[in-house]
Amino acid sequence: MLPVSWNNLRIPGVLQRLSWSYLVVASLDLTVARGHLDVLTTDSWWSPGLDVLLYWPAWVCVLLLEALWLFLTFLLPVPGCPTGYLGPGGIGDMGRYSDCTGGAAAFIDRWLLGENHIYQTPSSRVIYATHVPYDPEGVLGSINSILMAFLGLQAGKIILHYRELPRSIISRFLIWGLFLGAISALLTKCSTDEGFIPVNKNLWSLSYVTTLACFAFVLLVLLYYTVDVKRWWSGAPFCYPGMNSILVYVGHEVFEEYFPFRWKMANSQSHTEHLTQNLVATSCWVLISYVLYKKKIFWKI
pLDDT confidence of residue 271? 81
Give the span between the Cα atoms of 48 and 5, in whole angstroms: 54
DSSP secondary structure letter of residue 47: G
pLDDT confidence of residue 48? 72
pLDDT confidence of residue 94? 87
- Cα 58 to chain centroid distance, Å, stands at 19
The one-letter amino acid code at 25 reads V
Torsion of CA 95, 97, 101, 103, to 10 degrees: -160
For residue 141, how many other CB atoms are within 10 A of its CB? Answer: 27
Give the span between the Cα atoms of 36 and 153, in whole angstroms: 14
DSSP secondary structure letter of residue 3: P
pLDDT confidence of residue 261? 92
Give one DSSP letter per residue of 101-167, joined into a string.
TTHHHHHHHHHHT-GGGS-SS-THHHHH---S---TT-HHHHHHHHHHHHHHHHHHHHHHHTTT-HH
Residue ranges per structural domain of the chain: 14-229, 239-294
pLDDT confidence of residue 122? 87
Give the span between the Cα atoms of 79 and 204, in whole angstroms: 22
Give the span between the Cα atoms of 301 and 249, in whole angstroms: 13
3-state DSSP assignment of residue 178: helix
C-alpha to C-alpha distances, 8 to 4, 202, 245, 263, nearest whole angstrom: 7, 21, 28, 29
- 10-residue averages of pLDDT along the chain (301 residues): 76 93 96 73 65 89 98 96 92 89 95 92 85 93 97 94 91 97 97 91 96 98 96 93 93 92 83 90 96 93 74
| CA quadruple 195, 104, 146, 92: dihedral sign | positive
